[in-house]
Structure formats: C-alpha cells, structure tokens
Amino acid sequence: MLAMNQRTLFATALLATLSTLFTVSAQNTPVPAKETRRIEVMGFSEMEVTPDELYFTVSLREYFKDEKNQKDKVVISTLEKQLVKAVAEAGLPKENLTVSGIGGYQQHWDKNKKPATFLESKQYQLKVSETDKLDIILSKVDSRGIQYANMSRVDHSRKEEFKKEVKIKALKEAREKATYLVEALGEKLGPVLEIREMEDNAQYPVPMYKSNMRMMAAESADAVQESDLEYQKIKLSYRMQAAFEIR
C-alpha cells in the first residue's frame, strides 16, 4: 500500500514538471511577424540650366618684336602682368585667374647663322560669367603674346541647389506613381519604408563652336571681334527609388 502511494506521488510530480516545461516552452516560442506588404517604384526628374561659369584656358608666349634679328624679346612676366591687370579692371576676383601649365618651344630663324632660341609659354585658367568678359580682358593684353584661348569647361554656381531640387522632384514623382498604382487595386499607400538615391547623372557638354575662335594673334589689340561661341545647357537628371507600405 505504501509502495503504491509513493508511485502515485511520483507520477503526479512528473506530470506537474512536464506541464511546467511545456508552458515555459510555449511562452518562449516566437510568434511569426506579420509580413509587411510593400511596393517599390522609381521616380525620375531632370532639369536643364544655362551655364553661368565659363572656364577658358589662355596661353601666353614670349616673342621678339624684331623677329628677323631676334631682338627686343617680350618676356612672359610682362604679358602676365598685362593679363592680371586686365582681369582686375574687368571687376573679377583674383582667384578667377590661376596658372594651369608652363612650357616653351625653340624657335629657329636661321640654322646656319643663329642658334635656336627658347621662348617660354604659360597657360592660365580664367573663369568668367560671359564671353564678352573674355574679349574685354584679352583686348588689353599684347595680341602677339596670346597663343590661344579655348573654353575648357562650363559649370553653374547654383549646381548643388539645382541637384537638390531635381532629386526632390524625382522622389515626389515616385510617391505619386506608387499612389495611383496602389489605388488602382483598391488599396491605400502607407508610409515610406526605404529611399535609395541612384547614381548621379549630370552632363556638362563641351562647348560647341559655330566657327573657329577669333584670331588671338591679331596685328592690333583693338581688333577684337564679337565672339560667336555658343554652348549647350547643362542637363541634370536623377532617379530615386522608394519603397512604401501597402495598407
């Protein structure tokens, strides 16, 4: 009788222990999260702006006033002073003119009688807002010392501001697209879940010329013709990818 009571107590204790273990296990089992329904779309926007920063490469070179006899050389420092002064008189800040390169060349007039003469050249980057400024500046530099002046690139002073505007428009376009797609299925668009900025896509075209650049080595510095340079607009285009919850 005593042995039977002990077996009953043991069985009861075992059942209680197993019940506790099952309860704890059930409490620790994670409840599957409800899957979020979502929609991903791409928004696109672009803008064209007219450049207001024109970068020119201006090359100056030494020369002889008396070329035949290689006398009265006009040195590069004299030409540079003329250019710096002209930039200041045009109302441009000093930092708009920087040195971009230095070189030189040998000039042979008579190989049998005279040795080769080395003449220095120097290149500058000049930033102006319009081509008329370039004409005014170069008209005050000894024209025989101007080797060439070419536009190297264009830009805009408010480029970062414009990029921001285009990206915002692209993002709004993505939301608008997601809204009408979801509503077409009788659903509602929820909050944004993810925004992904795509790669930048900005085009800065090389200037297009109607005709050759005016001759910089004119006989007189007063012989400055009106520039017939034209250039394309800067195109900014961006794509923004966004994911929204579907309610």
The whole-number pLDDT of residue 47 equals 94
Query: Where are the extended beta strands (E) located within 108-219?
Result: 117-128, 146-155, 189-197, 202-203, 208-209
The whole-number pLDDT of residue 54 equals 93
Overall size of the chain counted in residues: 247
Among 3.30.110.170, 3.20.20.140, 3.20.20.70, 3.40.47.10, name the CATH number for the domain at 33-51+158-247. 3.30.110.170
Indicate whether 124 pLDDT > 90. Answer: yes
21 compared with 101, residue with greater pLDDT: 101
The whole-number pLDDT of residue 69 equals 76
The predicted model gives 162-178 an average pLDDT of 96
The whole-number pLDDT of residue 240 equals 95
Q: Tell me the fold of 53-155.
A: Alpha-Beta Plaits (3.30.70)
- Closest listed residue to residue 147, CA positions, set 131, 117, 123, 174: 123
Residues 230, 88, 102: CA angle, nearest 5 degrees: 75
- Those residues whose C-beta lies under 8 Å from the C-beta of residue 63, and which sit 6 or more positions away, are 73, 74, 119, 144, 145
What pTM was computed for the model? Answer: 0.68
In tens, the pLDDT along 37-90 reads: 999 999 999 999 999 999 999 999 999 988 777 788 999 999 999 999 999 999
Kindly calculate the radius of gyration of the chain based on its CA atoms and give it in whole angstroms. Answer: 38
* Alpha carbons 80 and 63: distance in angstroms, whole number: 13
pLDDT > 90 in the chain, percent? 57
Amino acid at 225: Q
